[in-house]
Chains A and B, each alone.
Chain A
Amino acid sequence: MKIFGYQLPSMSSLILWGILWEMVGQFELTFFLPPLSAIFSTLMEIGTTKVFLKALADTGYAFFVGTFSAIAIGIPVGILMGKNRLIDELLLPWVNMFLSAPLTALVPVLMVLFGFGMKSIIITTALFAIWIIVLNARAGVMQINRSLIEMAHSFGASPKDAFLKIYFWAALPEILSGVRIGFIRGVKGVIIGQLLISVVGFGALFELYSSNFLMKHFWAVLIVLFTISFTIAEFLAHLERKVEYYAARR
């Protein structure tokens, strides 16, 4: 957006909202919203404590292991579904069901199956992230130009070459947007897991701070979480723009 001929950097509207927040906080209109400046100074305080760093490490570990397994399984499964009609018919109903199912309701079942520890949290994260990754990889493969496949075939491509040199690259724009949305859903998954399964990590901090009405602390953790997931999503969006030049011309 341009104001008085100046190009505003993206997300500058956040500054406006920040100022509004600060004002609401300073006038003490509600205990729910402490001033933004106070939240940041609390963040500085707790940011270096062992409890916070441990929570960050626990959450980060569960999140990355969960989403990366979702990617490692989801992309090949999606590509296979796009390539093979039989596999597609077998798996598609399940993928669609899990994509729209309230996965939170499944968490208690996971606890019974996998216990109350990190394992269940990782699986919850993966379950939140994987379905959209599968669906997008599948959609990416299904829109591949038939003649690219025939071309690879006519020059004697092995199935491995066709997979790595044609299918993967042709589906990459869709795969990347699937991964981006998967990551965002994974953030949801890991926090829900940490709240419901065993109260550890950021989930434990949310629980602790909100039940004790420590709103500054609560918001501080939430801002950290938002910043991390926003940064990851933006990084993936940046990668998506890198393949944009061919996305429209496959």
Chain B
Amino acid sequence: MNNNTNSVDYAVTVRNVYKNYGDVEALRDLSLDFPRGQLTSVLGPSGCGKTTLLKIIAGLLPADSGEVTVNGQPVTRPGADRAFVFQDFALLPWANVLRNVAFGLELRGVAKSEREAIAEKYIGEVGLKGFENSYPHELSGGMRQRVGLARALCVDAQVLLMDEPFSAVDEQTRRKFQEDLLNLVKNESKTFIFVTHSIEEAVYVSDQVAILLPRPSRVSEIIKPEGFRHKDANSIRRDPEYLDIVDRIWASLRTYVE
């Protein structure tokens, strides 16, 4: 455990980050910490800079000023310590599931037999066994995102960045995904940063919910749902604390929804 001012160990820290797109101020003086081994949601209405923040952490976008660190190292570009799960899956349409899942390793120069063995393992883990030779267009949206998730797990990064990963899949698949994500957080000792615009989803899966308010983005509140974390996946949605937090977040966000 790394001790600074308190006893929490942060995998990712964001300090006083500013980002403008031309005249539009996307992020202003944003600071946020992400505890190691936990899932932190970044929640907010559309246009509040959630994805911008995530891409800055990923090193895909430069911040105008401020500092982002991952394991104490300042972020300047993408690195092996982070893996990204894309909203639109970002699969290679010309490659089968096996190659897609192994693609992160392929880019890192891992030998074919080795990377395919690793990919096989994670294909099984996300429940896609038997689909190794299918192509993305033959899969449903939910299955495609499982491929995207397996690809991110394969490279064994400590930090998993997820950009609204379940927004393009149907509601039932989404619920299944949320339950699977809880298990993933429990079983993999990784730090998850999860961008979403769904209040229920954020409260359901997160150890910590950071609420971003728009124009320009700043962190308005950090909520830590703790009371129901130990409960099993089915009863969380009926837990009074869960419902209270959902209500509270909606109350603070509703003025920003036109």
State whether A145 and B90 are in contact (beta carbons under 8 Å apart), knowing that A246-B137, A249-B137 are contacts in the complex: yes
* A250 adjacent to chain B (CB < 8 Å): yes
Residues in B69-106 with C-beta less than 8 Å from chain A = 78-80, 82-84, 86-88, 90, 92-94, 103-104, 106
Q: In terms of DSSP, what is the predominant structure of the interface of chain B?
A: loop
CB <8 Å contact, B104 and A155 = yes
* B135 adjacent to chain A (CB < 8 Å): yes
Chain A positions 162 through 200: 1 when the CB is less than 8 Å from some CB of chain B, otherwise 0: 000110010010000000000000000000000000000
CB <8 Å contact, A250 and B93 = yes
How close is A241's CB to chain B, nearest CB, in angstroms?
A: 14
Q: For residue B135, which residues in chain A have a CB less than 8 angstroms away from its CB? A: 245-246
Q: For residue B162, which residues in chain A have a CB less than 8 angstroms away from its CB? A: none
Cα of A156 to Cα of B79 in the assembled complex, Å: 7
* Choice from A147, A153, A246 contacting B88 with Cβ under 8 Å: A147
* A234 adjacent to chain B (CB < 8 Å): no
Chain A positions 211 through 250: 1 when the CB is less than 8 Å from some CB of chain B, otherwise 0: 0000000000000000000000000000000010110011
How close is A156's CB to chain B, nearest CB, in angstroms?
A: 6
Cα of A169 to Cα of B94 in the assembled complex, Å: 8
* A13 adjacent to chain B (CB < 8 Å): no
Residues in B125-171 with C-beta less than 8 Å from chain A = 135-137, 155
Q: For residue A150, which residues in chain B have a CB less than 8 angstroms away from its CB? A: 55, 60, 84, 86, 90
Residues in B209-226 with C-beta less than 8 Å from chain A = none
* B108 adjacent to chain A (CB < 8 Å): yes
Residues in A143-165 with C-beta less than 8 Å from chain B = 145, 147-148, 150-158, 161, 165
* B58 adjacent to chain A (CB < 8 Å): yes
Q: For residue B251, which residues in chain A have a CB less than 8 angstroms away from its CB? A: none
Q: For residue A154, which residues in chain B have a CB less than 8 angstroms away from its CB? A: 58-60, 78, 82-84
Cα of A153 to Cα of B82 in the assembled complex, Å: 12
CB <8 Å contact, A151 and B86 = yes
Chain A minimum-CB-distance residue to B138: A245
Cα of A218 to Cα of B82 in the assembled complex, Å: 68
How close is A35's CB to chain B, nearest CB, in angstroms?
A: 50
How close is A111's CB to chain B, nearest CB, in angstroms?
A: 44
State whether A155 and B94 are in contact (beta carbons under 8 Å apart), knowing that A145-B88, A246-B135, A246-B137 are contacts in the complex: no
What are some 7 contacts across the A-B interface (CB < 8 A)? A147-B88, A150-B55, A151-B84, A155-B83, A155-B103, A156-B80, A158-B107
A residues at B contact (CB < 8 Å):
145, 147-148, 150-158, 161, 165-166, 169, 172, 243, 245-246, 249-250
Minimum-distance CB pairs A-B, first 4: A246-B93, A151-B90, A147-B90, A155-B104
